[in-house]
Amino acid sequence: AAPGLSEGTVTAPMASPHAGNAPPGVDPEAFSWFQSVDTDHSGFISVKELKQALVNNNWSSFNDETCLLMINMFDKTRSGRIDVYGFSALLRFIQQWRSLFQQYDRDQSGSISFSELQQAFSQMGYNLSPQFSQLLLARYAQRSPNPSIQLDRFIHICMQLQSLTDAFREKDTALLGNVRLSYEDFLAMVVTRML
């Protein structure tokens, strides 16, 4: 099945007269999306073009940081943009995260609340305190009486958590859950993992 992002995740039109000319290994639907999103017809998708194409359930644009994080993840040439192959992989990546997001959005509100975030972390295998979840909400949620996390921020948080957890595990070889780090080791760990 094609990885089309329905339900208000991408705003570009689905149909394209050139969808049949997709390069080998690229889904025709993904190729169609690519052509719609590549507004300057450069053959590459920039952070700006990606941001214009992706929206959350509340129709807000994806955050700049999240778009840059995802571009960097699929940018094999380190050019700050992605080709049709990178874009096709990116669409599959977002589709997987959107499915997970909907699974954790138990009340189907279109965003993830504090209690849903706690449950999501627990199910993903993270043993994190309610205080840490509150800290993430304060940092990433839009200010409101009931702060919640949109899809873009959920992807961003999970990618950063995964990256930092990997860095921690490299140091915690005995799997004790604690490590001794010098200040510079700590800085190097953060700088190399935070995009």
Instruction: Tell whether 154 is covered by a domain.
Output: yes
For 52-72, what is the mean pLDDT?
90
Q: Measuring CA to CA, which residue among 156, 192, 158 is closest to residue 65?
A: 156
Cite the DSSP H helix spans in the chain: 28-37, 47-53, 64-74, 84-104, 114-123, 130-140, 151-171, 183-193
Q: Which domain holds residue 51?
A: 28-192
The two tokens of residue 99 are 């499915």
φ, ψ dihedrals at 97, nearest 5°? -65, -35
For 80-88, what is the mean pLDDT?
92
CA distance 16 to 32: 5
| pLDDT beyond 50 at 53 | yes
Total domains present in the chain: 1
Instruction: Tell whether 152 is covered by a domain.
Output: yes
Q: Give, in order, the Cα–Cα distances in Å from 19 to each of 7, 94, 102, 167, 179.
A: 21, 21, 29, 41, 52
Instruction: Tell whether 12 is covered by a domain.
Output: no
What is the reported pLDDT for 142?
79
pLDDT tens digits, one per residue of 125-160: 998 999 999 999 999 997 888 899 999 999 999 998
Measured at the CA of 137, the angle between CA 134 and CA 139, to 5 degrees, comes to 110
CATH number at residue 96: 1.10.238.10
pLDDT tens digits, one per residue of 153-194: 999 999 989 888 888 888 888 888 888 889 898 888 877 776
